[in-house]
């Protein structure tokens, strides 16, 4: 027994000596800076940005690194397609001379449309104030042999990526916005905001909503918009039919379309059974023959009213003014 104790004492002494004598290499910082904070400067509008952070917990940044905006756990999104086929994008930070006006646009056309409770819960950690935002997509060049794939870009007004939303109009154009520009921006940021909420898993269908439709439908019915509508499913034909997608679709309807457009009597057209993306009169009994679409629409609408004091349909109704 004494010999065992003596052995363990010697072993412990060796370990202590090894730790004490270990020559650790000097640590060097990563070349990527990923920290961010507000205020970022001493402009008058920096106080407004700080107020937004204190109120909603979201940083509005006009100075940011590539990692702050492009990084995701599955890869970087700067100008390349994502590993799951999603589009990439490129941004240019806002011109600081126009950030004040850009913040006015964000307040008027985005934040003011939603309740404080809703913004506190669903705004992302970061909002990137940008001068330009370009989405990146793939096309095929058939003018050469062999046919080659090439990347093209398209300017957009807002973009969602992982933990941030990028917003445009951080340049001189913000001083020249027309009514049409404002409506287009409101529509773009509303769509992006909902995509951000869904993408970050911040909202999901309730049990009641999931049980309000029968998803056990035949494959042939999935190719017919009118049959999907009759089942209370507002999805695109031949798409992934699920309660999650339905929840998102109803949210999109509310923020992108006036209620009058959704409920009016639509004129019949032959495209009804080729695509269900036509939301004209989708809640009217002409299309909603069993009343299930309106019932499920109300479930989503009431959920956000009751939990976040937010009627999403009011956002879409503004587009009718």
Q: What is the pLDDT of residue 239?
A: 66
Q: What is the pLDDT of residue 88?
A: 84
Range with the lowest mean pLDDT among 107-121, 139-153, 286-300, 302-316?
Answer: 139-153
Taking each helix axis as running N to C, give the angle between helix 99-109 and helix 179-199, from 0 to 180 degrees, rounded to the nearest 10. 70
Give the model confidence (pLDDT) of 174-204 as tens digits: 999 999 999 999 999 999 999 999 999 999 9
Element (H, E) at 103: helix 99-109
**25 pLDDT tier (thresholds 50, 70, 90):** very low
What residue ranges do the domains of the chain occupy? 44-199, 207-318
Query: Residue 79 gets which letter from DSSP?
Result: S
pTM of the predicted protein model:
0.83
Range with the lowest mean pLDDT among 6-15, 44-53, 128-137, 298-307?
Answer: 6-15
Give residues with Cβ within 8 angstroms of 305, minimum separation 6.
311
Strands 164-167 and 158-161, by their bridges, are antiparallel
């Amino acid at each position: 027994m004494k010999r065992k104790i003596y052995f363990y004492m010697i072993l412990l002494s060796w370990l202590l000596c090894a730790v004490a004598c270990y020559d650790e290499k000097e640590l060097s910082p990563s070349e990527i800076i990923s920290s961010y904070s507000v205020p970022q400067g001493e402009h008058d509008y920096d106080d407004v940005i700080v107020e937004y952070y204190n109120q909603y917990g979201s940083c509005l940044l006009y100075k940011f690194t590539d990692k702050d905006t492009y990084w995701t756990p599955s890869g970087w999104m700067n100008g390349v397609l994502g590993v799951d086929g999603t589009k990439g994008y490129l941004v240019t930070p806002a011109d600081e001379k126009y950030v004040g006006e850009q913040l006015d646009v964000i307040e008027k056309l985005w934040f003011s449309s939603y309740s404080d409770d809703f913004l506190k819960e669903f705004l992302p950690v970061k909002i990137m104030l940008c001068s330009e935002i370009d989405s990146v997509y793939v096309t095929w060049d058939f003018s050469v042999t062999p046919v080659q794939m090439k990347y093209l870009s398209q300017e957009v007004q807002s973009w969602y990526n992982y933990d941030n939303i990028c917003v445009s109009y951080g340049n001189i154009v913000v001083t020249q916005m027309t009514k049409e520009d404002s409506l287009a921006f409101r529509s773009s940021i509303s769509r992006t905001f909902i995509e951000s909420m869904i993408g970050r898993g911040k909202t999901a269908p309730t049990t009641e909503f999931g049980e309000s439709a029968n998803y056990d439908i035949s494959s042939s019915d999935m190719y017919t918009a009118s049959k999907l509508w009759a089942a209370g499913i507002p999805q695109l034909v031949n798409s992934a039919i699920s309660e999650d997608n339905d929840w998102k679709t109803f949210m999109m309807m509310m923020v992108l379309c006036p209620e009058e457009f959704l409920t009016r009597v639509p004129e019949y057209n032959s495209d009804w059974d080729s695509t269900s993306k036509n939301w004209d009169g989708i809640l009217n009994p002409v299309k909603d023959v069993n009343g299930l679409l309106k019932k499920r629409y109300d479930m989503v609408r009431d959920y956000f009213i009751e939990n976040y004091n937010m009627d999403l349909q009011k956002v879409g109704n503004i587009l009718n003014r």
